[in-house]
Amino acid sequence: MVVDTDDNRTSADPPRRWPGRVFDRGVDPDPRFSLANERTFLAWIRTSLALFAAGVALEALTLPIAPGLRRAAAVVLILLGAVAPVQAFLGWLRTEAALRLGRSLPPSMLAVPLGLGLVVAGGLILIGLLV
């Protein structure tokens, strides 16, 4: 018997899942696809943590990089680290909805901006090393 606090449901109904705007539509996809979507979400979270760590390490360690450029690169990395979890969640939502509705998978929203941000941070570090 399923215990639920929602008075409109019977004990035979499956428990509600969050977010409803995703799980209340379509049909459950093959679990392998949902699990792959969750692994992608977790990969974005790991990327976020790595970007935060790189930004903090860049600022905390005494490196032979021009201070202004080092700080700018650290800020870029930390900002990218702050944006990556947003991409993770929105990407997970969009992909899960597409799987449930039998639609094509959506492209990543932030892959290009993330790549450009990494190029900018790397360029700032390289210039800082040369100055």
Q: Determine the pLDDT at residue 1.
A: 46
- pLDDT score of 11: 55
What pLDDT shows up at residue 81? 96
Inter-residue contact 81 to 51 (CB < 8 Å): yes
Please report the pLDDT score of residue 15 as a whole number.
61
Positions of the chain with pLDDT lower than 70, given as ranges: 1-16, 18, 20-21
Q: How much is the pTM?
A: 0.78
Please, what is the angle between helix 67-101 and helix 31-60, to 10°? 170
pLDDT for res 109? 84
> Is the distance from CB of 90 to CB of 101 less than 8 angstroms?
no
- Determine phi and psi for 24, rounding to 5 degrees: -85, 0
